[in-house]
Structure 1
Amino acid sequence: MTENPDAAIVARLRAAGCVFAEDEARLLAEAAETPEELDALVARRVAGEPLEPLLGFAEFCGLRIHVEPGVFVPRQRTAMLAEHAAALAEPGMPVLDLCCGAGAIGAVVAARVPGAELYAADIEPVAVRCAAINLPGAGVFQGDLFDPLPAALRGRLGVIAVNAPYVPTEAIALMPPEARLHEPAVALDGGADGLDIHRRVAAEAAHWLAPGGVLLIEASEEQAPVSAALFAAAGMAVRVESDDERGATLVRAERPR
């Protein structure tokens, strides 16, 4: 179906708190093939399911990233991380999208740096399935952080881009229900201070990076100095970069040459 949805659908979405009800109604109408399917999609959206898995894609850096129910939906602030990773990558360079979710960061690198040797890994099966669709030709692995990667990659990665979970455990209850009820907890929960995964990544990253290789990891503005200190303690040169317009902050850690 591609025709404009009727006013009743817009009203249902607006009553459910959808701020961009008209846009969402149009997108749902485009995604549905029959009136019955449209009604079912609208009902699921009104019940609180995230829009993107209902559509089957998320818009990210000009790309349509395939997403399914139960996968972490890429956030627009993560565009900063993706763009920085693509700017550092080169054709033939091994690049890793770690904690890849649907593979959105890797997809941006692949689109902007043809010939990059791309890898991705995540612990969630749904994420790995989506990433394999979004990253054709890449090496996509399921497992805990670096564990599933081929040993031959140790010391060879030119860029590691990480969007690890960094929400403090107690703060998850304050997240929008679209996230806390429909995305896997393992993709959100970063432990007591949100930096449990950062600590684990910092302990291993230098062993996987090539000399001069760079790791980029997203954090909150408040967490970034602590995260940076973790990578500095691991012998890496670090700095914090921010994008106020996007509300994005990342830590950049480089392995010495």
Structure 2
Amino acid sequence: MSSVASRLRAAGCVFVEEEARMILDAVEPGASGGLVEGMVERRCAGEPLEHVVGWAAFGGLRIAVGPGVFVPRRRTEFLLEQALRVGRDAGVVVDLCCGAAPLATALAVRLPRAELHAADIDPAQTAYARRNLALFADRASVHEGDLYDALPSALLGRVELLVANAPYVPCDALATLPAEARDHEPVRSLDGGTDGLAVQRRVAEGALEWLAPGAHLLVETSARQAPLTRGVFAGAGLDAWVVECEEREASVVVARRRSAR
């Protein structure tokens, strides 16, 4: 392991012992040394470690990911926690902009009676979403398409919990992202338009049509954008508020469709 760690350190990696262990653990016993060499070369060239080893840690789970797929961030676990806080009794759950479906998978584990639907516009990501949700195929479906257009019409007015880790990086800020994200993750998973709120606005616009009375919608955003995002959802007719976790530098806007009178 020491030689792998040394090469990773020379390439500028920080947690070299942990990364070296993950690379070596990802290789089947008896595999050729060339496989390890290839993985080390990919990591030293700047490819995300998660793409190299084939999984990302999220919510206590291993979420399968690979080249061209958005890597779930640990701060998004705060979105998961807030979704469970307000939607622990939800029977119909939707994950929009699902990527590899880390949120839908973690919710499937924690909400054993819920019907789940995950949707993304990118076929490379929905392929990984199906892989991650395979154990829950009896009650989890993956749909390919643009936001609500991907969902079956039978869900109209029935969704009790909706999570959307929609892209929220402003166009002009994309160039400032770490190279791992900028060069190896799909831009559609990052680009939130001029002010970072373009996709969130579209999520808000369709919310009343799809949410059941009293249902909740949650999105991740930045601390700077959170008040603006809250305003977007309030303007769409939802009660909305901001919750934050300083430790993880995570901000989530929670919105609720008012119950029918």
Write the distance in 2 (CA, Å) between the matches of 1:205 and 1:180: 30
**Structure 1 residue 31 corresponds to structure 2 residue 26:** yes
Q: Give the partner amino acid of 1:40.
A: G
Write the distance in 1 (CA, Å) between the matches of 2:238 and 2:34: 56
Deviations 1:48-80 (A, max 9, x none): 100001111101111010111110000000001
Q: Give the partner amino acid of 1:100.
A: C
- The equivalent residue for 1:163 is 165
- The equivalent residue for 2:205 is 203
**Structure 1 residue 253 corresponds to structure 2 residue 236:** no
1:239·1:252 contact (CA, 8 Å) conserved in 2?
Answer: yes
Q: Give the partner amino acid of 1:152.
A: A
2:90·2:160 contact (CA, 8 Å) conserved in 1?
Answer: no
Query: Segments of 4+ in structure 1 off by > 3 A?
Result: 87-92
**Alpha-carbon shift at residue 90 of structure 1 (Å):** 4.5
- The equivalent residue for 2:187 is 185
Q: Secondary structure at the match of 1:147?
A: helix
Q: Give the partner amino acid of 1:143.
A: G
**Alpha-carbon shift at residue 114 of structure 1 (Å):** 0.5
User: How many residues are paired up?
Assistant: 252
Write the distance in 1 (CA, Å) between the matches of 2:246 and 2:58: 18
2:87·2:216 contact (CA, 8 Å) conserved in 1?
Answer: no
**Alpha-carbon shift at residue 240 of structure 1 (Å):** 0.4
Write the distance in 2 (CA, Å) between the matches of 1:62 and 1:35: 30
Q: Give the partner amino acid of 1:76.
A: R
Q: Secondary structure at the match of 1:141?
A: strand
Write the distance in 1 (CA, Å) between the matches of 2:124 and 2:51: 12
**Alpha-carbon shift at residue 89 of structure 1 (Å):** 3.4
1:89·1:113 contact (CA, 8 Å) conserved in 2?
Answer: no
Match of 1:11 among 6, 11, 24: 6
- The equivalent residue for 1:52 is 50
Indicate the percent of aligned positions where both proteins have the same amino acid.
Answer: 50
- The equivalent residue for 2:64 is 66
Gap runs ≥5 in structure 2: none
- The equivalent residue for 1:194 is 196
**Alpha-carbon shift at residue 236 of structure 1 (Å):** 0.5
- The equivalent residue for 2:115 is 117
Write the distance in 2 (CA, Å) between the matches of 1:90 and 1:194: 29
1:28·1:55 contact (CA, 8 Å) conserved in 2?
Answer: yes
- The equivalent residue for 2:215 is 213
Deviations 1:33-54 (A, max 9, x none): 3211000000000001000011
- The equivalent residue for 2:86 is 88
Write the distance in 1 (CA, Å) between the matches of 2:89 and 2:61: 20
Write the distance in 1 (CA, Å) between the matches of 2:258 and 2:52: 45
2:56·2:71 contact (CA, 8 Å) conserved in 1?
Answer: yes
**Alpha-carbon shift at residue 190 of structure 1 (Å):** 0.4
Q: Secondary structure at the match of 1:79?
A: helix
Write the distance in 2 (CA, Å) between the matches of 1:243 and 1:91: 24
**Alpha-carbon shift at residue 81 of structure 1 (Å):** 0.7
Q: Secondary structure at the match of 2:248?
A: coil
Write the distance in 2 (CA, Å) between the matches of 1:131 and 1:91: 23
Deviations 1:157-189 (A, max 9, x none): 000001000001111111111101000000000
Write the distance in 1 (CA, Å) between the matches of 2:47 and 2:213: 44
2:90·2:161 contact (CA, 8 Å) conserved in 1?
Answer: no
